[in-house]
């Protein structure tokens, strides 16, 4: 059988299958294919990384542009590129060449609507895109939230929010050893959870280079070459979840200024501060905005402080090392074994990931990868004074992992695992992990269909605390008794057609809304931070995520009248017309320009179901959940499956814009086809 011809061919769902003569050619063709499929998205992510979205989208994008400029994402990308090995530099340069070669023919309705002509990419641009995806992925927004609690609540009141169940990007992933699979080889399944966006943050791709023995199918961030987090490479496959690593520190900086010289107070006294001005152009009626960019010995200043002369600087591994970890991309493509993948990811920096990897020889490993600094405990919880020398970093942590036997399975779902105290301080509730573990326990002949069934599971993850509280209620109002009994008998499944699931969430929403408007939580003022941090400071959402604590004995001392609020919430919902869960829980991805191009189909699942589809309390749009699903069978790519919401192309008029949507809604997987 002859080798496939060089070029980009597409399968029946429009997924690009790139066949190249060498690795640089592979990157070049992948860049061209990315423009063909996602021209607007590439312009969007490039401008986001460079802090230039307001140029075309106006004042509403100014705060994000200011953050990108202050954090120095473009400068970090240049440093990371310049420090990379020659092979990595060539690979990223080739990808940029492929993008630039296709840009003159780029077509997208958003570009036409805005009158934007895409600009050329530099070899470091893909690295800046990767950095922009992950700046807010870490822990610094949560540390600002905790500081907000410290300022306005007592320690006892604030502690009810310290719960395993925080609102973060997450994922599910699992691996089953070959003794229990249909193919006799390990199977890895999973799905990353991020904000639902249009265009989708992940794209499918298959990259083949016969001369290098490379044939890798996986997911990529449009604008970044190779595959980064999820892939089947024939003899080895891998997937990741967010390990919930705490690797970002915020320092409270205190400044003084004489003429043009700015100094920051450090552990040894006043220190010079790097300072320059940048100008952000803004589409619309307002004048260009001048941004002061400051960098202390801790890191770049990302936010102004609440008191005059103060600010917050951010210290995170990529910035400290001048390395985004993308020197791993080419070695990952060449990997043939678990050992190869682990060797490649020794260079991973951030985000800190919980890796599952398996190969055709039967080796399986769970391993946390990335960089987590060693420092005092206080750094891990809240902003610390820059002038306190005890807050300095003291090296890097050794991260946990273990081998997995052929008759075992392992689940990772952002929860606390053995040895994870060194990784972070707060993790997701174990509800999703426990449910996947129960579904896989004792399972044999595991295959792609088994994984699809796991993906689609909608049993509620953690309604127990609220249902138990409802069961303890006394003096239930007469007009709410029927609803009360219905909820206590509920099967706890978030099916789209379930009226009881909708009623349960309505009670939950009404309850947390009442709590948020009552003491002591009504003392929490609106934050003064930029809008991109708003979701971390939404009090009803934070209360919802902390229900287990609020409804515990400890919570009773903070909210002694919580039964009054719960009884009132129950009565409020009982008086409302009935509806189904799917009618108030829909998929409508966020988009910056125009309409998302799809209707608003009903979504089963909830934030803590295996089928993750979370929403902000009181809203009807699911805001985050599975942005890709996969099942990698080491029996071969032909036994594997994948799917993304909507489809491979970004243009609503394109036939491959939404041809995967029904499969995604049905929680089924499509075959990973060959080139």
The string of pLDDT tens digits covering residues 502-543 is 999 999 999 999 999 999 999 999 888 898 999 899 999 999
249-315, what's its fold?
Penicillin G acylase, beta-roll domain (2.30.120)
What is the rounded CA–CA span in Å between residue 338 and residue 128? Answer: 29
Q: Where in the chain is the domain with CATH 1.10.439.10?
A: 23-135
The CATH 2.30.120.10 domain(s) of the chain lie at: 249-315
Reply yes or no on domain 138-167+460-493+499-574 having CATH 3.50.30: no
pLDDT (tens digit per residue) in 164-176: 655 566 899 999 9
Pairing state of beta strands 310-315 and 301-304?
Answer: antiparallel
In the block, residue with structure tokens 């473009």: 74
Q: List pLDDT tens digits, range 633-660.
A: 999 999 999 999 999 999 999 999 999 9
Residue 623: active-site member: no
Burial of 560 by CB count in 10 Å (0-12 exposed, 13-18 middle, 19+ buried)? exposed
Residues 6+ apart with CB under 8 A from 191: 171, 172, 455, 612, 626, 627, 628, 629, 630
| Arithmetic mean of pLDDT over the chain | 94
Per-residue 3-state assignment (H helix, E strand, C coil) for 157-189: HHHCCCCCCCCCCEEEEEEECHHHECCCCCEEE
Active-site residue identified among 2, 80, 139, 171: 171
Is 170:242 a contact under the CB 8 Å cutoff?
A: yes
Q: Mark residue 205 as left, alpha or beta (left: phi above 0; alpha: psi -120 to 50; beta: remaining).
A: beta
Given a cut of 50, the residues of the chain with pLDDT beneath it are 1
Say if residues 660 and 13 touch (Cβ distance below 8 Å).
Answer: yes
Q: Which helix (H) or strand (E) element contains residue 467?
A: helix 464-472
Report the Cα–Cα distance between both ends of the chain, in Å, rounded: 13
DSSP string, 614-652: E--TT-SEE-EEES-EEEEETT-GGG-EEE-SS-S-S-T
Which tokens is 535 given? 């979701």
ω before 290 within 30° of 0 (cis)? no
Task: Pull the structure tokens for residue 189.
Answer: 């399944």
- Residue 73 CA to residue 70 CA, distance in Å, equals 8
Bridge partners (DSSP) of residue 216 are: 207
Q: What is the DSSP letter of 480?
A: G
* Spatial separation of the C-alpha atoms in residues 387 and 51, rounded to whole Å: 30
Please tell us whether the domain made up of 23-135 is placed in CATH 1.20.1430.10: no
Residue 653: the pLDDT is 93
Write the pLDDT tens digit of every residue in 356-366: 999 999 999 99
| CATH 1.10.1400 location in the chain | 138-167+460-493+499-574
Q: Which residue has the tokens 């997987």?
A: 669
pLDDT at 141: 94
Long-range contacts of 503-506 (CB under 8 A, 24+ apart): 503/573, 503/578, 504/463, 504/466, 504/467, 505/581, 505/584, 505/585, 505/606, 506/573, 506/576, 506/584
């Amino acid at each position: 059988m002859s080798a496939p011809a060089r070029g980009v061919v597409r399968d029946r769902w429009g997924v690009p299958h790139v066949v190249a003569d060498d690795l640089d050619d592979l990157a070049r063709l992948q860049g061209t294919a990315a423009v063909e499929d996602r021209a607007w998205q590439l312009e969007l992510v490039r401008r986001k990384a460079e802090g230039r979205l307001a140029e075309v989208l106006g004042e509403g994008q100014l705060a994000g542009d200011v953050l990108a400029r202050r954090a120095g994402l473009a400068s970090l990308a240049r440093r990371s590129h310049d420090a990379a090995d020659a092979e990595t530099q060539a690979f990223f340069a080739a990808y940029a060449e492929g993008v630039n070669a296709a840009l003159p023919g780029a077509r997208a309705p958003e570009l036409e609507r805005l009158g934007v002509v895409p600009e050329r990419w530099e070899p470091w641009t893909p690295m800046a895109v990767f950095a922009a995806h992950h700046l807010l992925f870490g822990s610094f927004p949560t540390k600002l939230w905790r500081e907000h609690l410290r300022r306005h609540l007592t320690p006892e009141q604030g502690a009810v929010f310290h719960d395993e169940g925080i609102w973060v990007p997450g994922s599910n992933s699992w691996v089953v050893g070959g003794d229990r699979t249909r193919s006799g080889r390990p199977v890895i399944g999973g799905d990353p959870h991020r904000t639902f966006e249009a265009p989708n943050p992940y794209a499918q791709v298959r990259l083949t280079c016969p001369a290098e023995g490379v044939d890798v199918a996986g997911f990529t961030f449009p604008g970044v070459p190779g595959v980064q987090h999820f892939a089947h490479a024939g003899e080895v496959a891998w997937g990741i979840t967010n390990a919930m690593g705490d690797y970002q520190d915020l320092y409270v900086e205190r400044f003084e200024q004489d003429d043009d010289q700015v100094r920051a107070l450090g552990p040894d006294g006043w220190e010079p501060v790097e300072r320059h001005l940048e100008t952000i152009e803004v589409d619309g009626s307002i004048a260009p905005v001048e941004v002061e960019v400051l960098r202390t010995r801790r890191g770049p200043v990302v936010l102004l402080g609440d008191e005059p002369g103060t600010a917050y600087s951010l210290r995170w591994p990529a910035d400290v090392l001048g390395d985004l970890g993308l020197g791993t991309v080419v070695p990952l493509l060449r990997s043939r074994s678990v050992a190869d993948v682990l060797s490649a990811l020794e260079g991973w920096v951030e985000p800190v990931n919980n890796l599952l990897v398996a190969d055709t020889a039967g080796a399986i490993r769970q391993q946390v990868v990335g960089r987590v600094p060693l420092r005092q405990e206080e750094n891990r919880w809240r902003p610390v004074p820059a002038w306190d020398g005890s807050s300095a970093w003291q090296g890097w942590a050794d991260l946990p992992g273990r081998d997995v036997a052929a008759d075992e399975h392992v689940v990772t779902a952002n929860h606390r695992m053995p040895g994870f105290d060194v990784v972070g301080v707060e993790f997701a509730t174990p509800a999703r992990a426990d449910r996947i573990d129960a579904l896989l326990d004792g399972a044999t002949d595991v295959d792609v269909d088994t994984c699809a069934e796991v993906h689609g599971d909608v049993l509620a993850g953690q309604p127990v605390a609220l249902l138990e509280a409802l069961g303890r209620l006394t003096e239930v109002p007469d007009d709410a008794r029927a609803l009360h009994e219905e909820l206590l008998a509920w099967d706890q499944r978030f099916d789209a057609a379930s009226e009881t699931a909708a009623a349960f969430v309505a009670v939950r929403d009404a309850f947390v809304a009442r709590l948020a408007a009552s003491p002591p939580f009504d003392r929490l003022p609106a934050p003064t931070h930029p809008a991109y941090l708003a979701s971390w400071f939404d009090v009803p959402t934070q209360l919802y995520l902390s229900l287990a604590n609020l409804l515990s004995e400890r919570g009773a001392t903070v909210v002694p009248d919580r039964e009054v609020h719960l009884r009132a919430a129950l009565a409020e919902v009982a008086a409302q017309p009935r509806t189904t869960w799917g009618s108030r829980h829909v998929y409508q991805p966020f988009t910056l320009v125009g309409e998302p191009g799809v209707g608003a189909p009903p979504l089963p699942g909830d934030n803590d179901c295996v089928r993750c589809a979370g929403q902000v309390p009181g809203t009807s749009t699911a805001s985050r959940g599975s942005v890709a699903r996969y099942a990698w069978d080491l029996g071969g790519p032909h036994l594997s499956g994948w799917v993304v919401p909507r489809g491979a192309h970004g243009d609503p008029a394109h036939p491959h814009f939404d041809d995967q949507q029904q499969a995604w809604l049905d929680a089924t997987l499509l075959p990973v086809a060959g080139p």
